[in-house]
Structure 1
Amino acid sequence: MGCKASKQSKNTSKDNPPSILDGSNDLPKQKLLTLETKPEERKSKQPKSLDKSKIAELFQAEHQQIYRNKKFQHDYFITEEKVSVNGFQGKIFVVENKVTGLKRIAKIARNTLASQQITEYIDYLQSLKKLDHPNIIKLFDFYNDDKHIYLVEEYYDGGDLYERLKTEMQSSEKIHVAFVFQQILSAIYYLHSQEFIHKNITTSGVVVAQKSNLLIKLTGIDDLFNIFQETNSDISYRAPETFSDKYQWNKAADIWSAGIILFELMYGQHPFKDQSRQITIQNIKRNNIKEDVNLNSISDDAYKLISEMINPDPKLRPSAKECLKFKYFKSIRRSSMKITSALLRVKEFQRKNELKLILLSLMTEYLLPKEERDKIAQTFYKIDLNNDGKISKNELYQQYLQRSGNEEQAREEVEKIFSELDINGNQFLEFSEFLIASSNKAVLFNEENLKNFFNKLDRDHSKQISANELKVFFYNTNLSQSDWQQVIQLGQNKEQMNNKISYQEFVSLLTENE
């Protein structure tokens, strides 16, 4: 950055009896005539084996439907208005789901989009469902009517990052900055690995999940800005190259924006921002850092990282993955967990039934309390040592080895966990997979939650869930109608086999062995 020149020294059922069809050659063939059904009829009543790759689709977040064409007012009521963040062109509210009572954040903006643009926007939002990271704010629902669009997101109440750390900015120690900035970079690293560019990273767009902790959430990736606007409202975080008429957004621009955030957190002020928009742009293009900034007031390690991230040449900026390897983060000491209740639940989790797993993935999204989600997110962060937003076998192995001290036992535990949870077979545990296994089922499966969730799925109020009702909650899958019926059959009482699940079958499926 411009400070390189002035600080050169810093550069561096029951059991069945044996069947007469078990293969004994000495059994008389007449015995077959005593069976109630013909062989072909019995065969037709047996569910075909399910294609595991198709089942995996239903578990993946990107296939969970974001848009259900209902009115926002049908599902939520507004409780309070919040201060807008991240330059969002609209209003932000705290809302409550009318059935569950869970709090959410609703971003409501005027609907200025043509019908084709609405379709394009919904497609974009649906693509965001694949984002599965504890430091990226979760999008739950989207609604639109003639006047407004509504984005319903994960609730947070810890304020924006700048406000939380304002007093620390006056301290020379700044002990929390590396910890929170590592989370920001982890979110950006994950976004870029999924081929998303944020384009609008600002300090006000980084929020704190709870007042009691510093779990960081990156917001704004779902704003209209990302596909229908050319420039973000706060230009002071834009990289110099983005002001070119022919500029095509790339990942390096996000690195610059994050570098500005680190500059603010370390120095207590923005390097380029002026009251005049034109002067701000000029300062960015010319790399004119404010003269009153004492560039020598921070550590060499912090200085080097900032310098690299806001290098005027985008080709020379490190990637988010490379940034996370800088010496600046070596000072972070992740607290020893030994073994937490969340990790114990992961170890004890049994997959057993694919339909149960699918229902759990929906239930954790719809009914998991924020406090539980945040607690699990913190555990996930401590295990994810390389900050890529996924847990590898080796990272999980380190946790169980620390507990038992037995290498073979730790490996066996990890292999068992992955065989139960790694649905897509990519050799990693995603955050949603970890949530399902580690969430407290005693809390999640209380009677009220089970009734609410069943009623949500039972759209025609028939007191049964059909294949058609379940598939409404999924998007762009390769499952045929026959496949969906096979999925439903996994939860049925085998004596009935009517391709529908009653409430009793539903409860039995979810709570078995819990």
Structure 2
Amino acid sequence: MGCGAAKPIKQHSKQNSPCSHKKENQPQVSLMVESEKIETDYIFHALDPLVSRRNYIKKAVSKSNNASRIVKVYNCLNLTISEKQELEKIVHVQLQIKHLNLVNLQSYYYNDNKLYLVSEFCEGGNLLACLDHFSKLQQYKMIDVFCQIMAAIRYLHNQGIAHGNIQLESIVFTDRSMDNVKLIDYGISNSLKAACLQWRANGGIQEISFKSPESLKQSTLLSTKSDIWSCGCLLYFFLTSHMPFQSRDVQALKTAIQRGIVNFEGSEWMNINPDMKQLVSKMLSSNPQMRPTASEVINNPIFSNRAKIITKPNKQLSKHMKDFKQQSQMQSAMLNYIAENMLQEQDKKRLMEEFQKFDLNKDGQLTKEELLKVYNTMYSSEQATQEVEAIFSKIDQNGSGRIDYSEFVIATIDQKKYFNREKLLTLFQQIDRDHSGQLSKLEVKKLLRDMQVPQEKLDQLSKQLDHDGDGQITQEEFLQIMSSIA
């Protein structure tokens, strides 16, 4: 069932590397230890070119629940020790990243010097492949897509991570409606991609068009300010349908980018808000230090009219949030697993809709201020404040001052619906690969790793499940233990 465990992310100030870590946060356990084969749990299928044409990216379907996943295959055979350590640090961080507008890494496998990273599947395709359809959307929808991208970039930058490769191919739609987007390919340097993936920069017009002047001088540098330049190019493109720097010749294009003189004289700019023009101009400043931060971009007043009309949330889900109790590490892990592997499509859609009722600025995270605005429509000011404080004290476990989508889902999921005998039997059958009617120690550890239980907790929780210490857990024992967790 794959592995997946990492320590929580802390915010860092370093910005010139894909993932900045303090020494104490470096992974304690190597990812590159032989695990079960990925074919044990997944069947590979042909990948639609709309998703990617890169041959190191595969589509896989889970044998246990038929869920589609994307698998990226890293060849580690020729990596140096330092390159392996860099890759491990990046993967451990990515396992902890949970944001509405970032494709989340879910698990990993390691066999025959190959590291398989399993992440969620987005069926809508990437922006480059869908450009004809996207170009027909109204401009306000394009701006909404841009703001979702900036929400993801802000989250990454707050974690000390530069994306480093923002272009049309790195933006994917969750479905064919084109309402919601996610970023992929973040946080890994081009030199490392070249070393362990069948990847190389194609050096084509489309890719170069999004490069900042400084990244053209040093292609391995990943900086947050380079990301802002790339997003400035994207915003310019959404507003005008063409790139700020254009040429049919690659070298001429590079020269134009390095000169950094942006043309705002086209007729299309006559009908664009001057404040929007000023924002684009700042994002495309030749001096990286003069560019705004991702937070300054997304909080620019020009986007303030994006705030949703406040609608009252589902009272039952609000009650789930208020009553939520995270009683144990095992319960949290179990809810995470259910949310990613067993949640029904209609429940996923309903939870997304409820989350968006609270997410007034659509940045993929909930603040106390946003919840207060919603709850003030339902309660008195004093009661609304009490409700919000109670919710944050229970749900915001990492003390970030924000509730991300995964925390929201875990808190609002109908535990009675998913912690019942039928669902737990389904879960047991998924884990019991040999259909013996009992779980071995290995199968239990696979489950815990898939639920992203920290490594130091694995043995403790394995013992918790195996009360009599015989190394086997029967179906009834499993049901009894899991029911007591809820």
TM-score bracket, normalised by the shorter chain, equals 0.7 to 0.9
Q: Is 2:112 the partner of 1:152?
A: no
The residue aligned with 1:129 is: 95
1:58 Cα deviation (Å)? 8.3
- Output the TM-score relative to the length of structure 2: 0.77
Which of 270, 277, 280 matches 1:296?
270
Q: Is 2:150 the partner of 1:185?
A: yes
Q: SS where residue 104 of structure 1 aligns?
A: strand
1:179 Cα deviation (Å)? 1.4
The residue aligned with 2:106 is: 140
The residue aligned with 1:271 is: 244
The residue aligned with 2:284 is: 310
Which of 224, 241, 254 matches 1:251?
224
Query: Which shows bigger deviation, 312-321 or 434-443?
Result: 434-443
C-alpha contact (below 8 Å) 2:307/2:362 kept by paired residues? no
The residue aligned with 2:304 is: 330
Q: Is 2:163 the partner of 1:198?
A: yes
1:310 Cα deviation (Å)? 1.1
- C-alpha spacing 1:413/1:501, structure 2 compared with 1 (3 Å): farther
1:151 Cα deviation (Å)? 3.0
1:287 Cα deviation (Å)? 2.6
Q: Is 2:479 the partner of 1:504?
A: no
Partners in 2 of 1:201 and 1:350 — Cα distance?
39
Deviation track 1:352-387 (CA, whole Å, cap 9, x = no partner) reads 444322322233233335664465345434424466
The residue aligned with 2:177 is: 212
C-alpha contact (below 8 Å) 1:260/1:270 kept by paired residues? yes
1:252 Cα deviation (Å)? 0.4
Partners in 1 of 2:408 and 2:179 — Cα distance?
21
Query: Which shows bigger deviation, 90-99 or 263-272?
Result: 90-99
C-alpha contact (below 8 Å) 1:65/1:475 kept by paired residues? no
Deviation track 1:165-209 (CA, whole Å, cap 9, x = no partner) reads 7456467x6121221111111100000000001100112211111
Partners in 1 of 2:281 and 2:344 — Cα distance?
41
C-alpha contact (below 8 Å) 2:126/2:171 kept by paired residues? yes
The residue aligned with 1:38 is: none
Which of 238, 252, 258 matches 1:285?
258
Partners in 1 of 2:400 and 2:335 — Cα distance?
20
C-alpha contact (below 8 Å) 1:488/1:500 kept by paired residues? no
Q: SS where residue 217 of structure 1 aligns?
A: strand
Q: SS where residue 189 of structure 1 aligns?
A: helix
Percent identity for Structure 1 against Structure 2: 26
1:323 Cα deviation (Å)? 0.5
1:349 Cα deviation (Å)? 3.1
Partners in 1 of 2:268 and 2:400 — Cα distance?
47
Which of 324, 328, 336 matches 1:349?
324
Q: Is 2:208 the partner of 1:242?
A: no
Pairing of 1:103-122 with structure 2 (within 5 A)? 103-108=68-73, 113-114=78-79, 116=81, 117-118=83-84, 120-122=86-88
C-alpha contact (below 8 Å) 2:306/2:361 kept by paired residues? no
C-alpha contact (below 8 Å) 1:391/1:429 kept by paired residues? yes
Runs (5+) with no aligned partner, structure 2: 11-24
- Output the TM-score relative to the length of structure 1: 0.73
- C-alpha spacing 1:420/1:289, structure 2 compared with 1 (3 Å): closer
Partners in 2 of 1:162 and 1:259 — Cα distance?
17
1:421 Cα deviation (Å)? 2.5
C-alpha contact (below 8 Å) 2:333/2:453 kept by paired residues? no
1:396 Cα deviation (Å)? 2.4
Corresponding pairs, count: 450
- C-alpha spacing 1:246/1:471, structure 2 compared with 1 (3 Å): closer
1:281 Cα deviation (Å)? 1.1
Q: SS where residue 60 of structure 2 aligns?
A: strand
Bigger Cα Rg: 1
Q: Which amino acid aligns with 2:255?
A: Q
Q: Which amino acid aligns with 2:66?
A: G
C-alpha contact (below 8 Å) 1:343/1:438 kept by paired residues? yes
- C-alpha spacing 1:124/1:333, structure 2 compared with 1 (3 Å): closer
- C-alpha spacing 1:457/1:393, structure 2 compared with 1 (3 Å): farther
- C-alpha spacing 1:102/1:245, structure 2 compared with 1 (3 Å): closer
Runs (5+) with no aligned partner, structure 1: 1-55
Which of 341, 350, 357 matches 1:366?
341
1:435 Cα deviation (Å)? 1.7
Partners in 2 of 1:513 and 1:147 — Cα distance?
38
Query: Which shows bigger deviation, 211-220 or 310-319?
Result: 211-220
Q: SS where residue 136 of structure 1 aligns?
A: coil
Query: Which shows bigger deviation, 254-263 or 454-463?
Result: 454-463
1:136 Cα deviation (Å)? 0.4
C-alpha contact (below 8 Å) 1:76/1:95 kept by paired residues? yes
C-alpha contact (below 8 Å) 1:241/1:247 kept by paired residues? no
Q: Is 2:62 the partner of 1:97?
A: yes
C-alpha contact (below 8 Å) 2:438/2:472 kept by paired residues? no
- C-alpha spacing 1:434/1:110, structure 2 compared with 1 (3 Å): same
Partners in 1 of 2:360 and 2:31 — Cα distance?
31
Q: SS where residue 376 of structure 2 aligns?
A: helix
Partners in 1 of 2:356 and 2:376 — Cα distance?
18
The residue aligned with 1:74 is: 40
